[in-house]
Amino acid sequence: MELVKICTVVSSLSFFCYVISYFVTPNMKQEFIRYGLQKLGLFVIILQFLGAVGLIIGFKYPPILLISSLGLSLMMLAGLIVRWRLKDSLSASFPALFFMLLNAYIFFRMIIQ
């Protein structure tokens, strides 16, 4: 399997896990409260779910992969900005940075194909 496909599967599965954890652990909801975004928590989770689904559908329909990877990358950029404003550590901010870069890689690789 080529690298972009592996990255797409990793990103999609990770976002699916994040979505599930939002509903089964109290920690995720507490994080949104800490960010001051408790009213947006469910909306963000729905967008992440749609992005994860879009990554998978994108194997069959590449324009969906482009939209999903760009959307997830921008969402993770917004997450980084929130964490920087809260002065979170690099280790706490690393997942957002990693998934921003991973989805940006997927996006740009699909554009240049």
∠ CA 15-52-80, nearest 5°, is 50
The pair phi, psi for residue 96, each rounded to 5°, is -65, -45
Q: Give the Cα separation of 68 and 52 in Å (integer).
A: 7
Q: How many residues does the chain have?
A: 113
Query: 41-57 and 26-35 helices cross at what angle (nearest 10)?
Result: 120
Please give the average per-residue pLDDT across 66-76, as a whole number. 98
- pLDDT-derived band of residue 113, with 50, 70 and 90 as boundaries? confident
**Predicted structure pTM score:** 0.94
Cα(112)–Cα(94) distance, integer angstroms: 27
59: helix, strand or coil: coil
Question: Average pLDDT of 81-104?
Answer: 96
Residue 75 scores a pLDDT above 80: yes
C-alpha–C-alpha distance, residues 32 and 29, integer Å: 5
pLDDT over 80 (residue 1): no
Residue 30: pLDDT band with limits 50, 70, 90: very high
Q: What is the mean pLDDT of the chain?
A: 96
